[in-house]
Structure 1
């Protein structure tokens, strides 16, 4: 006589999957939270439109920086490693917004990516609350994401830390969050 198999109740499956998802998101967020953060004074200033690789607390008037050649076509986020600058480019190829950023210690390789996931907010391993986390790749085991510190702080990463956070002013983080939905193209150029 055979004994019929018992099925697990659906609440057991839902609880298990939810717990696994929370662990995964927490791990991703912890990796992204270890990057450099913008200075509190810089947060109060409007981002400069200059090509300076280092953000300034006071805006400078200059011509907007053009979207880099070879960054692709269509709607996308473009990140220049050398300029430490991001562009939000619309479907027609026009830059809707451009701003400087503070990269972590691990940079993405030049190439084409897509937004893989987003997390609204979390607390970094340094205790800083971060928000608008937009993940798009992993390099050498380090998750690479755009984000901003909620309080505008800019703690330096610990010596030897491997961080993939690309930090920005809060207003720019809000713009990336709105623009960078899952699947949005991300182009990284030199």
Structure 2
């Protein structure tokens, strides 16, 4: 009798573990690519990629939302375009078409509209706000503050402390990876109002 009870308990344990494993798989399959903290009143919205949310159509498909057009006053050729008021970046190919566009969280110190070039790049470093950042692409210096695109290593995109002087224009991790691949040293960066 004890042998049957042990076998029954073992069987139930195996079945329970299989059920837990299945539920864990389902949960991970439906989880978002990245987690963002909840917003509190007064907080700035998180940047979002130009990619449509899961379950929505891609470009030209039902449910898709097209990114705004590349600003007409941003020059020609291969370039990064940063629109200050729109809080948006475009990675523009040689043909003048956007390869990618996404929202960013601006820094407290911004460059003036104009043409710049990527001056330095760093894979990983502490940001000017003390948060570890990755894929840093620097392009301007304003009153001693270096301005560049980057992503927080933990994936967060909080609004910067308005009392601090920071130059990090924050991107999502996926967008920062795209910027890193697109913009080697010397790449033109055009800042528009």
Task: Provide TM-score, normalisation by structure 1.
Answer: 0.68
Distance 1:159 1:70 in 2: 29
Q: Which one scores higher on RCO, CA 8 angstroms, separation ≥ 6?
A: 1
Structure 1 residue 41 corresponds to structure 2 residue 36 = yes
Distance 1:149 1:174 in 2: 12
Task: Give the structure 2 partner of residue 15 of structure 1.
Answer: none
Helix, strand or coil for the counterpart of 2:180? helix
Structure 1 residue 63 corresponds to structure 2 residue 58 = no
Shift of 1:46: 6.1
Residues 62 and 156 (structure 1), Cα distance of their counterparts in 2 relative to 1, 3 Å cut: closer
C-alpha RMSD over aligned residues: 2.6
Name stretches of at least 5 consecutive residues in structure 2 with no aligned partner: 1-33, 38-46, 57-62
Distance 2:157 2:98 in 1: 27
Shift of 1:160: 1.7
Asked if the contact 2:138/2:147 (under 8 Å) is kept, the reply is: yes
Distance 2:161 2:85 in 1: 23
Name stretches of at least 5 consecutive residues in structure 1 with no aligned partner: 1-38, 51-55
2:100 alignment partner, one of 72, 97, 113: 97
Q: Which has the larger radius of gyration?
A: 2
Count of residues paired in the alignment: 144
Task: Give the structure 1 partner of residue 24 of structure 2.
Answer: none
Within a 5 Å distance, the mapping from 1:1-190 to structure 2 comes to 40-41=35-36, 47-48=49-50, 61-124=64-127, 126-158=129-161, 160-190=163-193
Task: Give the structure 2 partner of residue 28 of structure 1.
Answer: none
Residues 83 and 163 (structure 1), Cα distance of their counterparts in 2 relative to 1, 3 Å cut: same
Asked if the contact 1:49/1:63 (under 8 Å) is kept, the reply is: no
